[in-house]
Structure 1
C-alpha cells in the first residue's frame, strides 16, 4: 500500500528522537513538507543534516508562550503528529505533584495547545486535515510506577475522542496510536532494554517481541493518509496481541 503526501505540510512534535524522528523522515519520503519540533537543538541539527529538506523548530512544549509562538510560526499545517511525551516513574505513594504536573503538561496540555492552533487553521481554510496523537497501551492496561504516565495517556485518549467529535464536521480526523512498550532510547533508559524487566510484558505478547519504532510509524502514516478516510476517533492498539492474554 503506497501512501503519498505530496503538497501536504506536516508538523511532528518530539521529532528529535525515536518515533517522532522516524515519523518526520518517513513523511519526507512520502512527499510531505515537514516541520520537526524538538526542545533539543542538537537533535534537530543532526536530523536536518540527515534530511536537509526538513524544517527545524526548536521549542520546549512545557512553555506555553514559546509553544504558541513556535507553532504559529510554521504556518498552515495539513497533518499533525503529536508525538512529544515524557515519562517519570514513581511508586503511587511517592508521586510528587511536580512530576505529575510535568508529565501532564507535556503529554496532555501541550497536545491541547498545539492541536488548537493547528486545527483552527484547518477550519479557517476549510481544507480538512488529519491529527494523530501518540498515546499508549497503558491507557487500557496499567503498569506499576506509571501513575502520572498512565493518567496522562488516559486523558489523551478521551480528549482525542472529543477532538474527533467536534472537528469531524470540519473534515478533520483525529486518532491515536496506542503501542505497548516500544524499543526507543527513552524506554531503554527506564530499563526495558533489560530482558528481566521486559520479560513479564513479552510473556503476554503472543508474537513474542516488543514493538519496534517502524511498527508505530507505519500506523501513523496510515492514519494520516486518505487510506484511513473513514477512520476517526479510533485508538489503534499496536501490541502484538498483548490484550488477548
Structure 2
C-alpha cells in the first residue's frame, strides 16, 4: 500500500497570483507564502499592493493593468521562472444584455479571459523551455456553466476561461503542465458580503445551493492550493465546482 501523503509541499516553488489586491487573490497569495512558496502578486492598485506587503513582506508585488497586453507580458517575462500560476483577477457587472456597451464587453473579456490567456502563454512558454512542468489554476465561476440574469458578459467570459482551462490541459499535459479551474458560487469576500448584505437577496441565492450556504474565501483558497499541489498530480483539465451543489440544482 502506498504511503499516505501528509502536508502539501511546495519547496523551491515560485508562484504568480493575479488580482492580489483584495479578496480571493490576496488570500491565495498569503496562503502560498505561508506554505513556503516564493510568491509574486499582480494588481492594478498600488495602495492594495502596499497593504499586502505590510502583511507579508516576502511577497513580491507588481502593479499593472492586465488589460494592457504588452505591459503585462513584459512584467511577467521579467519575473523569471514561474512554477505555479493562479489566474484570479476578474471583474463583473450587472448590465442586462440589451444595454451592454462595446466597452463593457471588451473590458469583461480583456480582464476575465484574454489576460489569463496572455499570462498563461508567457508562463507556459517558460515551463516548456525549462522542461520542469508546472501547475496553472484559473479562478472561474459556476457562471461559466449556468446562465445568470444580467450577467451575459461575465458568463460568456467565464465560459471562455473554462474552455481555455480544458484546451490548455490537453495541449500542455504532455509537458507535465497541469491546468485546472476552480468554479465557485457567490463568495463572501469583503466585497461579496456588502453585495449580498440584503437578507432577502441572500436567502434567494442560498435556496439554489443544496448545502445551504454561500462560499467563504477559505473554500476557494483550499481548492486552489490543492489543485496547485502534487496531491492533485493526476488532475488535469478539471472544472472544480466550489458551490455546495449549485451546479446540479434545478432550482
TM-score of Structure 1 vs Structure 2, range by shorter chain: over 0.9
Please tell me whether residue 145 in structure 1 is matched to residue 150 in structure 2: yes
C-alpha separation in 1, matches of 2:35 and 2:56 = 13
Match in the other structure for 1:120: 125
| Equivalent in 202, 205, 209 of residue 206 of structure 2 | 202
**Is 1:212–2:220 an aligned residue pair?**
no
Q: Which consecutive unaligned segments of at least 5 residues does structure 2 have?
A: 1-5
Instruction: Report the Cα offset of residue 188 of structure 1.
Output: 4.2
Instruction: Work out which of the residue numbers 231, 241, 245 in structure 2 matches 1:237.
Output: 241
In 2, the alpha carbon distance for the partners of 1:85 and 1:77 equals 21
Aligned equivalent of 2:85? 80
Partner of 1:47: 52
Q: Do the aligned residues in 2 keep the contact of 1:131 with 1:173 (CA within 8 Å)? A: yes
Q: Once superposed, what is the RMSD of the aligned Cα atoms?
A: 1.1
Please report how far the alpha carbon of residue 185 of structure 1 lies from its aligned counterpart in structure 2 after TM superposition: 3.4
Q: Would the aligned equivalents of 2:142 and 2:247 in 1 still touch at CA under 8 Å? A: no
5+ residue gaps, structure 1: none
For 2:145 and 2:23, locate their aligned partners in 1 and report how far apart those are by CA, in whole Å. Answer: 23
Displacement of 1:199 after TM fit?
2.0
Larger displacement relative to structure 2 (106-115 or 88-97)? 88-97
Q: Name the counterpart of 1:177.
A: 182
In the TM superposition, what is the alpha-carbon distance from 1:142 to its structure 2 partner?
A: 1.6
Describe the superposition over 1:47-101 as per-residue Cα deviations: whole angstroms up to 9, x where unpaired: 1111011101111101112101111111100000000001121011111111011
Tell me which residue corresponds to 2:65: 60
Is the contact made by 1:183 and 1:193 (CA closer than 8 Å) also made in structure 2? Answer: no
Task: Determine the structure 2 residue equivalent to 1:167.
Answer: 172
Residues 99/188 of structure 1: CA separation in 2 closer, same or farther (3 Å cut): farther
- Which of 28, 35, 57 aligns to 1:23? It is 28
Q: TM-score, normalised by structure 1?
A: 0.97
Q: What TM-score, normalized to structure 2?
A: 0.94
Q: CA deviation at 1:170?
A: 0.2
1:187 positional shift: 3.1
Distance 1:165 1:13 in 2: 23
Secondary structure of the residue aligned to 1:68 is helix
Distance 1:101 1:185 in 2: 26
1:100 corresponds to: 105
Maintained 8 Å contact 1:90/1:145: yes
**Aligned-partner SS, 1:72:** helix
Q: 2:37 aligns with which of 32, 56, 67?
A: 32
SS of 2:202's partner is helix
- The count of residues paired between Structure 1 and Structure 2 equals 244
